[in-house]
Amino acid sequence: MKMRLSQLLASFAITLALLTILEVVTATVLPALGWYEYRLTFNVLIIIFLAIRLDSPIVPWMVMSLQVVHSLFSVEGWALGTFAGLIVMTSANYLKEVLHLTSALITMLTVQLFQLIWYVTVTMIICLKISNFDKFGMIMWSFIPGSILLSMISPLLFWTMEKIWRVPSEGGPRGVEI
Amino acid sequence: MKLIQESSKTKIVNNLIVGMLAVYGISQKQFNLSEPSLFHQVVTEVISPVQEGLANSKKSLSSLWDNYLSIVNTSKENNVLKKQISRLESDLTSMEEMRKENLRLKRLLTFTDEQPYNKIMAQVVGWDSSNEFKVIRLNKGTKHGIRTMAPVVTDHGLVGYVYRTTENYSDVLTILDQNNRVDIVVERTRTHGIVEGVFNFKCALKYITRNEPVEVGDKLITAGVGGIYPKGLKVGMITDITKENFGMTLSIEVVPSVDFDKLEEVLVLTPLDSGKSASLLPTQSPVIEEKKI
């Protein structure tokens, strides 16, 4: 299924708006309600969706734009997540023949797998930057509870994203080609 | 076939370009100090008021959940009565909140008399949206006199320092963050060490040798070296000491003095003479230079 440029821009604009709302929820609403310890990194979930479900040469630029939005709410910056996003995209590309998100459980497991790839990449880069690999386990562990929660809500978010990107739910792993 | 090959080539080229940009971005990134770009400043100024509004509506959100949603399924008459009670309770809660806020502000003001600094009171409006960084956003910025590297405190103790700032908002790298290192002194023994953030809202005390007589319950205060924090601010308390079978130093767990779960208002300290402020605050502290990242 091909996608027109106008449709692509509209879908991408909605995705950016959705990410902004979700980042505000994570950075302000949840802490205001007493949820301090773990963050729900929705940018990771959205980028995993794009990596798995879209087949387009411009996805790397989309990943970068999403990370720029994320950097407004986090000192992490855009570069770290962009790099991790590219690694996730490349992994998804290699696994595309076996990725079929046919049920909520499979979606959760797949998302958890890609989150692990993401967090291993990010943790390794942070450890390299701070020249301290002793913290690898600690940083990695800090991601796990949030990532499990994210995996649990991933079917709902993927369903929403499928509507935004007009990807058929049962259309296989690479639902849309731009 | 040719079309597929071209598309594949474009993908590889785009991946390479974005990948190289990301690697360059990572190499330039500093996790302990940042100068926001114009784009970042403008967008932060647009988005942060929303965060501020939501942070301010905390009481309303709790009240809505506790007092409204819980009575949806009761009878109509009960609803009216309960709503009245809820309203009264909500008013009481608001008054109680105001009383508590007054107390907090009073304590802050008393605390400020002890510190020879300009004090800028600010409200916490958000937290960093990533798991690995413990950063808070304040509703005051350069317009109010806040500069990067300015220490941030409450009456309970040290919160962190200003990591980056825009005209109306500032991000503070808290002592819970692994990139923030605080030079401290153990109050009882005068032993020097460095506190840095670890997982689970706790900190670790580093570089304390095995023969130092530190104990659980010892209080830690800032040492005043490093150029960021003034001397004598409460940092935390030792809650666990582990002597490993190897190594020269102790493994020490510290609970911060500040309860970050309940952080609402903070004070940003700037030097009294604003003209001297820029020169008094070094661009990089020795601690940061020691582990430049």
Give the pLDDT band of residue B268 (cuts 50, 70, 90).
Answer: very high
Distance CA B189, CA B198 (A): 24
Cα–Cα separations (whole angstroms), residue A84 to A61, A67, A117, A161, B116: 13, 10, 8, 20, 46
Q: What is the predicted pLDDT for the residue at B21? A: 92
Average pLDDT, chain A: 85
Q: What is the predicted pLDDT for the residue at B75? A: 65
- pLDDT tens track for B135-148: 999 999 999 989 88
Q: Is the pLDDT of residue B273 over 70?
A: no
% of chain B surpassing 70 pLDDT:
80
Question: Could you tell me how many CB contacts below 8 A there are between chain A and chain B?
Answer: 157
Give the pLDDT band of residue B283 (cuts 50, 70, 90).
Answer: very low
Please tell me which of the candidates B15, B55, B133 has its beta carbon nearest to residue A76: B133
- pLDDT tens track for A128-142: 887 778 778 888 887
Structure tokens at B156: 């309970």
Q: What is the mean pLDDT of residues A116-130?
A: 89
Structure tokens at B96: 């109680």
* B132 vs A: CB within 8 A: yes
Instruction: Flag the least confident range among A52-56, A152-156, B215-219.
Output: A52-56
In-domain check, residue B277: yes
Residue in B8, B31, B132, B133 to test binding to A, most A beta-carbons within 10 Å: B132
Chain A residues in contact with B40 by the CB 8 A cut-off are 71-72
CA distance, residue A35 to nearest chain B CA (Å): 9
Strand pairing category for B203-206 and B192-197: antiparallel
Q: Is the pLDDT of residue A44 over 90?
A: yes
CA distance, residue B203 to nearest chain A CA (Å): 12
> Is B47 in Cβ contact with A83 (below 8 Å)?
no
Q: What is the predicted pLDDT for the residue at B293? A: 33
Task: Give A129: exposed, middle or buried? Use CB within 10 Å, 0-12, 13-18, 19+.
Answer: middle
In-domain check, residue B135: yes
Q: What is the predicted pLDDT for the residue at A3? A: 67
> Is A142 in Cβ contact with B131 (below 8 Å)?
yes
Q: What is the predicted pLDDT for the residue at B161? A: 94
Instruction: Flag the least confident range among A128-142, B14-28, B202-216, B263-277.
Output: B263-277
8-state DSSP, B230: P
Q: Which domain holds residue B227?
A: 33-293
In-domain check, residue B285: yes
Q: Which residue of B has its CA nearest to A77?
A: B29
CA distance, residue B51 to nearest chain A CA (Å): 6
Q: What is the predicted pLDDT for the residue at B6? A: 63
> Is B24 in Cβ contact with A130 (below 8 Å)?
no
Structure tokens at B38: 């114009």
For the question of an ipTM over 0.85, the answer is: no
Distance CA A78, CA A100 (A): 29
Chain A residues in contact with B47 by the CB 8 A cut-off are 20, 24, 72-73
Domain count, chain B: 1
Q: Is the pLDDT of residue B272 over 80?
A: no
3-state secondary structure (DSSP) of residue B293: coil
**Radius of gyration of chain B, Cα coordinates, nearest whole angstrom:** 24
In-domain check, residue B166: yes
> Is A75 in Cβ contact with B34 (below 8 Å)?
yes
Chain B residues in contact with A41 by the CB 8 A cut-off are 129-131
Q: Is the pLDDT of residue B7 over 50?
A: yes
> Is B291 in Cβ contact with A131 (below 8 Å)?
yes
Q: What is the mean pLDDT of residues B168-189?
A: 90
User: Which residues of B, range 66-105, sit inside 8 Å of A by Cβ?
Assistant: none
Q: What is the mean pLDDT of residues B145-167?
A: 91
Q: What is the predicted pLDDT for the residue at A170? A: 53
Give the pLDDT band of residue A45 (cuts 50, 70, 90).
Answer: very high
Q: Is the pLDDT of residue B209 over 60?
A: yes
Instruction: Flag the least confident range among A4-8, B23-27, B271-275.
Output: B271-275
Tally of CA atoms within 13 A in the half-sphere of A170 that contains its CB:
0
Average pLDDT, chain B: 79
Cα–Cα separations (whole angstroms), residue A37 to A27, A51, B22, B254, B263: 11, 28, 28, 17, 13
Q: Is the pLDDT of residue A171 over 50?
A: no
Give the pLDDT band of residue A172 (cuts 50, 70, 90).
Answer: very low
In-domain check, residue B7: no
- Answer yes or no: are the C-beta atoms of B48 and B137 closer than 8 Å: yes
In-domain check, residue B275: yes
Q: Who wins on pLDDT, B36 or A145?
A: A145
Q: What is the predicted pLDDT for the residue at B152? A: 94
Q: Is the pLDDT of residue B289 over 60?
A: no
Residues in chain B: 293
Q: Which helix (H) or strand (E) holds B167?
A: none
% of chain A surpassing 90 pLDDT:
41
* B161 vs A: CB within 8 A: no
> Is A70 in Cβ contact with B34 (below 8 Å)?
no
Distance CA A64, CA A83 (A): 9
Q: What is the predicted pLDDT for the residue at A110? A: 92
Q: What is the predicted pLDDT for the residue at B132? A: 79
In-domain check, residue B114: yes
Residue in B129, B207, B249, B253 to test binding to A, most A beta-carbons within 10 Å: B129
Chain B residues in contact with A36 by the CB 8 A cut-off are 127, 201, 260-261
- pLDDT tens track for B216-266: 999 999 988 878 888 888 999 999 998 877 778 888 999 999 988 888 889
In-domain check, residue B267: yes
